[in-house]
Structure 1
């Protein structure tokens, strides 16, 4: 519903708000912390501010259009007229709601993997319940079953790609990364999607890209990497503060181990 009111580029740019929403949810659940007196805490706060500014620019500023990269797009596609009125704002709002729900899903993967350490099992359960929910929604909103048929066209390719890569492989890789580095780190790599989407939508679909979407996307990416820098800085501080303690423990235990070895050697003699 949001893509019909905006464009693929705006949809990809709006997904860059996922790390901010993920960070805020993790902060509410006490999975993350912010120290405003430190540089890492200020970087996180600046990242949130830049992301909010990027979302506002996308919603309220369209700007001049940029010509498509290909005059004859690879796939037949008739670009829809872009509205800067209430429909555009409504589409952006729907994208933010979708990103917020996706952020909640990323956060909930951490306790889920504690109950189900097998990532393949967790992925299978998510796909199963997602398929059931999608089926119920599809039956409720589309009663004409003739539109459910798939032909040998780009629609079939999109379904296959979404099933194997966009859902199966994506869920498994995200679960693996969330278990290794946490939910915020997973969402930090979403800015790359904006670059690929701008190129693909302009080259393959002949879509008109708006300057406001690009500027908002740049602010979103800047905010995300500011948040990432603050996260990495906190990890470095934790590692630096933990190393002296480990060295001290090893130094305290080493004479004890030497004494035990001497006693064992004496008893053997």
Structure 2
């Protein structure tokens, strides 16, 4: 029973870590596809077309009993969702990646937790009690994750000579290869994209309250994102039909992988976690993506690891621990304790062999200090 409870409590954390691994692989594949001349507008369209084809059948079958009736307000929210993330955010993100590098783009997205946290507090989707140690932990942890990511980006320091990187001279992807103009242009695009992404997270959490069918919502977002993205791509790539062609190469792999993992599965997993933990919890783990990219680069590509990157990663891990601790305390459930008390009462009643109408009512209340049982007649 204890192992099952631990697993249930750890599922949200495992889910968001899986998302960051998925996004890290997507960054590498997408950058490779863009370097080969793939249009970012076409990549977005194919990505969500694949996601729609994969998710829609599951949504039709599994959400049949829980899917609420579609209303105009709900549909308008879904239209906005499909515009915010699939069209605006992803196109700006990939355009910013074109001007910079995958690592730079991943680093810039670390402003997402801060934006989401501020917006969630403004819209009262996040509990904010300044005197509470849990709120202080979330604020400090969010700031630490962003600060650690910036340290990883700006601070290099000496090279760490690890045994698996010996003999490699791969300096690809360092900031020195990016012009200042491209860095500024790419940064602005990614920043606006992150703001759009944060709006998507907040609106998704709001929409799930009136349309609590995660698979169906994901399918709708991907379908409408495909249609809206197609309209944008036809306008931006008019007179260039060759951009729509695909072969068995990195372009196809990037479209299929990002569609299945980073759109289909990601939207669904985000929705499930957000219903219980809120949008801030999901976005707080986004700095992990850059850490994963750095680790993957050192192992797979033999890229050099700098001391500054390690220091930044350490700060990120510390910040994530604070956020996770604050959020886990927000969602401590008393139901297992209540169930245990009920079992004790039931066993006591059975052992006496008769119904005792004078059972005492045990009320369990929670506070900052702990659990306080109260005995009422």
| 1:70/1:107 CA distance change after superposition, 3 Å | farther
Match of 1:166 in 2: 262
Cα distance in 2 for residues equivalent to 1:213 and 1:137: 38
Cα distance in 2 for residues equivalent to 1:98 and 1:11: 11
Task: For residue 25 of structure 1, report the CA deviation from its aligned partner.
Answer: 1.0
TM-score of the two chains, using structure 1 as the length reference: 0.73
Match of 1:3 in 2: 97
Cα distance in 2 for residues equivalent to 1:126 and 1:12: 24
Counting only pairs closer than 5 Å after superposition, residues 62-81 of structure 1 correspond to structure 2 as: 69=165
Deviates more, 1:50-59 or 1:21-30: 50-59
Does residue 136 of structure 2 align to residue 42 of structure 1?
A: yes
Count of aligned pairs: 244
Secondary structure of the corresponding residue to residue 150 of structure 1: coil
| 1:48/1:193 CA distance change after superposition, 3 Å | closer
Does residue 336 of structure 2 align to residue 240 of structure 1?
A: no
Match of 1:21 in 2: 115
Match of 2:282 in 1: 186
Counting only pairs closer than 5 Å after superposition, residues 191-202 of structure 1 correspond to structure 2 as: 191-202=287-298
Task: For residue 237 of structure 1, report the CA deviation from its aligned partner.
Answer: 11
Cα distance in 1 for residues equivalent to 2:100 and 2:310: 13
Is contact 1:22-1:103 (8 Å) kept? yes
Deviations 1:68-114 (A, max 9, x none): 95989xxxxx8696226242243233323222221221121222112
Match of 1:125 in 2: 220
Task: For residue 177 of structure 1, report the CA deviation from its aligned partner.
Answer: 0.9
Task: For residue 208 of structure 1, report the CA deviation from its aligned partner.
Answer: 7.2
Counting only pairs closer than 5 Å after superposition, residues 97-108 of structure 1 correspond to structure 2 as: 97-108=192-203
Secondary structure of the corresponding residue to residue 128 of structure 2: coil
Is contact 1:47-1:225 (8 Å) kept? yes
Is contact 1:63-1:210 (8 Å) kept? yes
Task: For residue 123 of structure 1, report the CA deviation from its aligned partner.
Answer: 0.6
Cα distance in 1 for residues equivalent to 2:314 and 2:197: 21
Unaligned regions of 5+ residues in structure 2, if any?
Answer: 1-94, 335-364
TM-score of the two chains, using structure 2 as the length reference: 0.54
Deviates more, 1:190-199 or 1:153-162: 190-199
Match of 2:346 in 1: none
Is contact 2:107-2:153 (8 Å) kept? no
Cα distance in 2 for residues equivalent to 1:176 and 1:37: 30
Deviates more, 1:108-117 or 1:46-55: 46-55
